[in-house]
Structure 1
Amino acid sequence: MTAKIIWMDGELVDRDAATVHVTSYGLHYGIGFFEGLRCHPTPEGPAVFRLTDHLVRLRRSAAVYGIPLPYPVEEMARACRAVVSANGLTECYLRPIVFLGDGPDPLSAPYRAAIVASEDGPLIGPPKTDGARAMISGLRRMSADSIPPAAKATGQYLNSFLAQSEALRAGYDEAILLNAAGFVTDGWAHNLFALAGGELRTPPVSAGALPGITRDSVMTLAREDGLPVSERDLVRTDLYLADECFLTGTAAGVVPVVSVDGRPVGAGTPGPVTARLAAALADVASGTSGAHPEWRETVS
């Protein structure tokens, strides 16, 4: 459920007043950039996980398209905290978005910004409590010479939406996309990891994967746990033959993948390394472990 107070264009407003005109270019052409963040209850109070890192990525996504953010990172960070506080929340999902507004033409129209809080994440499909059944999508991830996949931009998520819709219609839980060369990029809205031979492997950003904040967190925690981690090209058979496989993302956290294209991954159940990393991530985000306090940015 969306919270009642939204930050929009520099001020907190009631949800019903946070409106966008139908002539906005962001609506017509998918011109915009966004982030997804989680706020968790911690011993120090509500804290947004890696708030500044997410907003720096928002700025970088806009920069890929040659667009400066209409507000500095520090101001948007204060706005995220204000939205959590104004709604009296201790745990929520935050969606900052910057999009092209209305005007005489796209080059002169202003960029607008909003931050929305909700108690649920933007999941497509039911939660995967016992692990996800994934399929390799017949749609390829867009190539870097068409739309830059390293940016988290609104319009390019049509590629992901089509792939996930295909997977759901086929009776699967999650879509996994390949690039034009046949290498694995990521899930429809998640990064992907495969465990094989005692090494945790994930596709490199150069393959088309988004530089995920949760991805980076899991890689750091895995190395601290003594697990070798590599960024390397993967093909579909690497997933079929993996000992474990999982997806990562802000909204979903760590999602075990128990099968790919109907083939069981490992024992066909969530694996112990996946469970250990999921627990480590949850402990850091909630402040339970005390590790990485720099990743928890308190609301007040």
Structure 2
Amino acid sequence: MSLHRNHHLTTGVLHQHGGRNPDLVDRAAVGVAHLGGGQDTHGNVVTHCERRCATHRRAKAAQPREQTLCLPPATRGLDLPVYGTLAQEVAPGHDAGRMEATVNVNGVVTDGDQAVVSVFDHGFLYGDGVYETVRTYNRQPFLLDRHLARLRASADRLALDVPPTDVDLETRMRDTMRRVNPGGEVTLRILITRGVGELTYDPAACARPTVVIIARPHSGIPDTMLRDGISVVVASVLRNHPRSVDPSIKSNNLLNNVLAMQEAIRQGAYEAILLNHRGELAECSQSNLFAVRDGVVLTPPLDAGLLEGVTRNFLFEVGADIGVAVNEAVLREVDLERVDELFITSTTREVIPVVRVGDRPIGAGRPGPIASRLLTRFRALADTLTRTSGTS
């Protein structure tokens, strides 16, 4: 069985003509509407946090903290899966400010609440750094070689030195995850920052990079989410222009993604699709996007301005293994009305079916068979590769 991607894929294109050109000016206006509170240009309720007075903030500081979602009236009361809320991240009865994690900072392993990084670290000050997220199967980091290769490629594009070798980084990862979720799976985040330095953008101000590894229990995706699918929205926030921020850099500076995800949360959706400056579908705020049309799987090409996901690339191999064509294709928002299936992929999410974009159902409005086949084979291969090789 060959697991090497065919680099000469035939590009399938659903949308060959200009078609409807999204009103990017109006979309940009929505993105800043929440700054003043009230409603954006689509009538969505937005927060008024900046209108709270200082006295009220001081009074609230002494009370237990709660996080609530500000959702449009049409979505209130619905049981919709939303990523990133405290309800999903913290178990009942636990302190929302304390994360269950083990952290390795420059080789020193501590509990998460004891880990320390300087406030003068340029990763904290400017987001000057890169990262990777890796998950385990059978307690073995999956596709680790590919993740580390992308980490170094991202660092090279920032002229950021990564002194530890791949062997050193893997050793640190294993040292860090040893105390986490015994017998269960682990999610690891590797962060390399410019390091501690003066308040300047000059990289020469930092003597050495900071290397952080965070290990947390991997909870997986709920079966109900795979059974029922998720809803997403098309964000008003555009994907960064490639000549502004290189999309191939997996950077610690994620403000573009944060703004898009805020829109999804406000609208009661799990994820947000970002368009590029040409009005094409690029990717989601935390995942890559795939569509299915007439039995063929399509995903936006790299020149749409997206991060080349490790799971995205592996899915080409998974598809080839089960006889499902996976091709790159230019896709636009109007194409979402013509696809039979839609799904997202990422390291921690694997393959999740999308059944609704905004108020529009995808296909029959339920998860489709091809996404299910790909997920089943993906998991089987992940299990086999980590059992047979020890590492991947």
TM-score, normalization by structure 2: 0.68
> One-letter code of the match for 2:236?
G
Output the CA distance in 2 between the equivalents of 1:292 and 1:14: 29
Q: How does 1:2-81 map to 2 (within 5 A)?
A: 2=99, 5-41=102-138, 46-81=139-174
Paired residue total: 287
Q: How does 1:26-175 map to 2 (within 5 A)?
A: 26-41=123-138, 46-87=139-180, 88=182, 90-104=184-198, 105=200, 106=202, 107-109=204-206, 110-120=208-218, 128-129=225-226, 130-155=228-253, 157-175=254-272
> One-letter code of the match for 1:100?
R
Match of 2:326 in 1: 229
Q: How does 1:127-276 map to 2 (within 5 A)?
A: 128-129=225-226, 130-155=228-253, 157-276=254-373
- Equivalent pair of 1:37/1:48 in contact (CA under 8 Å): yes
> One-letter code of the match for 1:276?
R
- Equivalent pair of 2:106/2:210 in contact (CA under 8 Å): yes
Identity %: 32
Output the CA distance in 2 between the equivalents of 1:8 and 1:102: 13
Output the CA distance in 2 between the equivalents of 1:271 and 1:115: 37
> 1:292 Cα deviation (Å)?
9.6
Change (3 A) 1:198 1:8: same
Change (3 A) 1:102 1:216: same
Output the CA distance in 2 between the equivalents of 1:291 and 1:272: 26
Output the CA distance in 2 between the equivalents of 1:16 and 1:159: 28
> One-letter code of the match for 1:84?
M
Output the CA distance in 1 between the equivalents of 2:303 and 2:219: 28
- Equivalent pair of 2:271/2:286 in contact (CA under 8 Å): no
Output the CA distance in 1 between the equivalents of 2:127 and 2:286: 17
Output the CA distance in 1 between the equivalents of 2:101 and 2:346: 25
Output the CA distance in 1 between the equivalents of 2:387 and 2:309: 17
- Equivalent pair of 1:121/1:251 in contact (CA under 8 Å): no
Q: Secondary structure at the match of 2:235?
A: strand
Output the CA distance in 2 between the equivalents of 1:194 and 1:274: 9
> 1:7 Cα deviation (Å)?
2.1
Q: Secondary structure at the match of 2:306?
A: coil
> One-letter code of the match for 2:229?
G
- Equivalent pair of 2:184/2:217 in contact (CA under 8 Å): no
**Root-mean-square deviation over aligned CA pairs:** 2.3
Output the CA distance in 2 between the equivalents of 1:206 and 1:180: 11
Residues 192-238 of structure 1: per-residue CA shift (max 9 Å, x gap) = 11011221110111111211111111111011111112112111122
Query: Quick check: 221-230 or 98-107, which moved more?
Result: 98-107
Q: Report the structure number with the largest CA radius of gyration.
A: 2
> One-letter code of the match for 1:136?
V
> One-letter code of the match for 1:193?
F
> 1:144 Cα deviation (Å)?
0.7
> One-letter code of the match for 1:194?
A
Output the CA distance in 2 between the equivalents of 1:147 and 1:137: 18
> 1:167 Cα deviation (Å)?
1.5
Change (3 A) 1:11 1:122: farther
TM-score, normalization by structure 1: 0.88
> 1:257 Cα deviation (Å)?
0.6
Change (3 A) 1:146 1:52: same
Residues 51-100 of structure 1: per-residue CA shift (max 9 Å, x gap) = 12111111111111121213122211222122222444541110111112
Output the CA distance in 2 between the equivalents of 1:141 and 1:217: 23
- Equivalent pair of 1:84/1:90 in contact (CA under 8 Å): no
- Equivalent pair of 2:341/2:354 in contact (CA under 8 Å): yes
Unaligned runs of 5+ in 1: none
Output the CA distance in 1 between the equivalents of 2:336 and 2:306: 16
Output the CA distance in 1 between the equivalents of 2:314 and 2:388: 13
